[in-house]
Structure 1
């Protein structure tokens, strides 16, 4: 049986964009016409390719496989139009899912450096909880996901490459009384109030565990917020303390916004890394961005040594 390559490209765009409506607009087709094409394809193959729901369309296992072929065909069509630029990783759109605090601050440097020399490339970054982002990666909606290491079932077919070690660091304003000490005691920490992320943030579970390890109760939290900028500003104007992932803490300390409180035993977190599909060949664009991420991570290691 010969499958029309255009139908595979259409399936890929439905999976990537998450809906028939968005794919039809991208392809300059009518939504009913696109729906008929997919129904015909499912009928000819004898398998269901998409699960349609109120919140969009999601690929079945068979749908993911065919959509991956469609993506390759789509990239080949771009390559035919742009020549060697695509082969070098200079052309195309990169779809990235990133943990909230990474998307909000830490990725600015590698993203800026990558795009500075690629005027025909673009990046779409979607923040979210890492487990949900990995599901979307598995479903073909992202090229890469950047976040904390997750325990994944083998049948996911995802690979995780560690980039940065990660701990929960205690931070405060630059001239905080504890910032001048070579080492602080748990009793000293317990005399201050704290700022924490919201309970809906996946990081909050780690923060709660880290505070519990210091013997701190929930009533020690004075402020909960989803805004990292607000965390910094409140810390700068009070004696409050907070716990931040070490790469984020280092960024704020290096810029002179906060100071790190010295504690003998830091609370270890999952390493920060990048996940991608192990069963799909990575495009030149993805590989080029991975190289930039690795350079950025190496520079972070050197700064913190």
Structure 2
């Protein structure tokens, strides 16, 4: 088994066509066909269904191609780390950001890295905490922002930010940033919330159970954009962290008030894999990410957030 075979596997999986894959890899079709045959012989398993529809991965192929992608990705990152361009620090760093933090942090982070570490390339993924924890443990990303409630011996966690949750409604709902409300006062409101086990939904469920309240959840969606759109269209209310609604409040698109219940706050942590080496490129990206978060809080762009890192 060699890298050419893995590249052939991944390229055919993506194109589902032997001829197109050969063109992309700039080799003749018999050569790529031979690489796949040798790979299947080495594994002792057929990886593709071959038919009129092209080359389609079977179950064994779908399993192995994910390992192949990770191997090729790790080699690409290692080459970039060992041979940085123009004598500068180099490397590829994969970052995972929570959907509620991505809009505020991604542009600032990219801008700072281009200025201070132009040799570092970054790949930004967004996802919910549970997904990103799996990506970290599987080696698909190097750094992530998670909720503190999601712990694992496979991860090193550093608490960064404490942030309260806000009750969000459409324009005209009379919600104000300087008038906090309690969860008991929203039991009669139709709610649009993420489905369990989303971190915010868990906090809301715990707070309502603690106070023996029955909330009226009319819609569940794990899309923050859908939450906001349904609220904007007057179909209900939602609960979000302040960072997710800064621009909406400033533009008058939505109205919101902080929830005063102590249980309705979240802690955001920086997470890195325990068993993997933290390269110099990763350390630099981590430092820039932390600075972006601190700057956002100090400038008032991340309202109701408190920096708690040492």
- TM bin, normalised by shorter chain, reads 0.5 to 0.7
The superposition leaves residues 53-100 of structure 1 with CA deviations (integer Å, 9 ceiling, x where unpaired) of: 6334566xxxx9x99995675235532xx1322x2x5xx432223334
For structure 1, which segment, 236-245 or 31-40, has the greater mean C-alpha deviation from structure 2 after superposition? 31-40
Distance 2:100 2:244 in 1: 8
Q: Are the counterparts in 2 of residues 253 and 259 from structure 1 also a CA contact under 8 Å?
A: yes
Q: CA deviation at 1:202?
A: 5.3
Aligned twin of 1:165 = 162
Q: What RMSD over aligned residues (CA atoms) do the two structures have, in Å? A: 4.6
- Equivalent residue in structure 2 for 1:114, among 112, 116, 120: 112
1:83 equivalent to 2:86? Answer yes
The superposition leaves residues 267-299 of structure 1 with CA deviations (integer Å, 9 ceiling, x where unpaired) of: 345521222234444334322321221112212
How many residue pairs are counted as aligned between the two chains?
A: 275
Q: Secondary structure at the match of 1:160?
A: strand
Distance 2:195 2:74 in 1: 40
Aligned twin of 1:98 = 97
Aligned twin of 1:146 = 145
For structure 1, which segment, 115-124 or 264-273, has the greater mean C-alpha deviation from structure 2 after superposition? 115-124
Q: CA deviation at 1:265?
A: 1.7
- Residues 183 and 83 from structure 1, CA distance in 2 versus in 1: closer, same or farther, beyond 3 angstroms? closer
Aligned twin of 2:204 = 207
Distance 1:215 1:208 in 2: 10
The superposition leaves residues 229-262 of structure 1 with CA deviations (integer Å, 9 ceiling, x where unpaired) of: 3433443453843211343245544554433324
Q: CA deviation at 1:126?
A: 2.8
Q: What's the TM-score, normalizing by structure 1?
A: 0.65
- Equivalent residue in structure 2 for 1:55, among 63, 77, 86: 63
Structure 1 unpaired stretches of 5+: 1-6, 41-51
Residues 11-30 of structure 1: pairs in structure 2 closer than 5 A: 30=32
Q: CA deviation at 1:132?
A: 3.5
Aligned twin of 1:287 = 283
- Residues 181 and 99 from structure 1, CA distance in 2 versus in 1: closer, same or farther, beyond 3 angstroms? closer
Distance 2:246 2:78 in 1: 42
Q: What's the TM-score, normalizing by structure 2?
A: 0.65
